[in-house]
């Protein structure tokens, strides 16, 4: 048996392990290359190739396992997930991003609208477009497009989503160690990522694997806030940030309403694209 045949056999037995191994190797190479060229001062666009890691890891695992690359990528063409799911996903992340601003406005705390003034509207569009077509949203080919349907074969959808959220958050650590980010507030970042992962898993399952819905929602979650709070917020926001609180509430309500087993009211989840193999 050749080394490649042995690799294929191992990948067939442990697709999740293969995905993580490729992800770790690719991510390490990108971090080393970026650090060698730029040092600790990473330009924003220099970090874009790092975001391709989940997509490349998923594609490599699908190829090694002799599954259909076409069917896996075909999830990108599932545009008709339902307009209400696009609206729902966007509403959740836009409210989540500005939850502190919304609460402040409701209780009479001073707020400054920075959209169009200190933050140009073009900047919102730029980051949304970069995230959607080049960076963060591309990750969804790995997180939801590969891991979600496979993990759901063995575990409840909420458990699968939480596991993906933890991997998703920890995957950012190498870039932080290299200087592109900070560990300040990292525990809250993990909570936010896990909760958002449940929301995205819910969108993915209820649209029968329509990745565009998930990708648009992911891209919108990375935009800057529309407002900025200049007054004093309730003390709870000193413990947890507004977006963490809101996403945790959404994740809990989704699990209660749709059920933790599938995150869908009809009890179904998307099939693994082009494959009937179990994990």
- pLDDT tens column, 95-114: 999 999 999 999 999 999 98
Higher model confidence: residue 57 or residue 275?
Answer: 57
β-pair partners for 111: 229
53 part of a folded domain: no
- What percentage of the chain has pLDDT greater than the value 70? 91
276 part of a folded domain: no
Could you list the residue range(s) of the whole structural domain that residue 100 is in?
A: 78-258
How open is the CA angle 14-3-68, to the nearest 5 degrees?
Answer: 50
* 242-258 vs 99-107: helix crossing angle, rounded to 10: 100
Rounded CA-CA distance 210/139 in Å is 14
- pLDDT tens column, 219-263: 999 888 999 999 999 999 999 999 999 999 999 999 999 999 999
- Measured over all CA atoms, what is the biggest interatomic distance in the chain, rounded to whole angstroms? 71
274 part of a folded domain: no
In contact, 140 and 168? CB cutoff 8 Å: no
103 part of a folded domain: yes
124 part of a folded domain: yes
35 part of a folded domain: no
152 part of a folded domain: yes
279 part of a folded domain: no
Residue 59 has pLDDT above 90, yes or no: yes
Element (H, E) at 249: helix 242-258
Average pLDDT, rounded, for the chain: 90
Provide the domain count of the chain.
1
Residue 151 has pLDDT above 90, yes or no: yes
Rounded CA-CA distance 95/220 in Å is 11
């Amino acid at each position: 048996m050749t080394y490649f045949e042995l690799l294929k056999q191992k990948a067939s037995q442990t697709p999740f392990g293969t995905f993580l191994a490729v992800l770790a190797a690719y991510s390490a190479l990108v971090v080393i290359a970026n650090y060698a060229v730029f040092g600790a001062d990473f330009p924003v666009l220099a970090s874009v190739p790092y975001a391709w890691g989940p997509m490349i890891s998923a594609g490599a695992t699908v190829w090694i396992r002799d599954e259909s690359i076409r069917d896996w990528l075909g999830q990108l063409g599932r545009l008709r997930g339902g307009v209400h799911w696009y609206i729902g996903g966007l509403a959740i992340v836009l409210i989540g991003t500005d939850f502190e601003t919304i609460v402040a406005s409701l209780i009479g705390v001073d707020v400054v609208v920075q959209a169009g003034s200190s933050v140009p509207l073009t900047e919102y569009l730029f980051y949304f477009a970069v995230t959607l077509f080049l960076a963060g949203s591309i990750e969804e080919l790995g997180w939801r497009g590969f891991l979600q349907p496979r993990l759901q074969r063995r575990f409840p959808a909420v458990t699968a989503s939480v596991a993906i959220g933890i991997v998703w958050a920890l995957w950012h650590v190498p870039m932080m160690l290299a200087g592109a980010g900070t560990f300040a507030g990292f525990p809250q970042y993990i909570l936010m990522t896990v909760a958002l992962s449940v929301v995205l898993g819910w969108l993915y399952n209820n649209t029968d694997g329509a990745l565009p819905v998930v990708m648009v929602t992911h891209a919108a979650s990375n935009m800057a806030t529309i407002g900025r709070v200049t007054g004093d917020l309730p003390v709870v926001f000193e413990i947890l940030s507004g977006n963490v609180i809101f996403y945790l509430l959404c994740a809990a309500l989704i699990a209660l309403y749709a059920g933790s087993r599938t995150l869908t009211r009809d009890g179904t989840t998307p099939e693994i694209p082009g494959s009937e193999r179990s994990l």
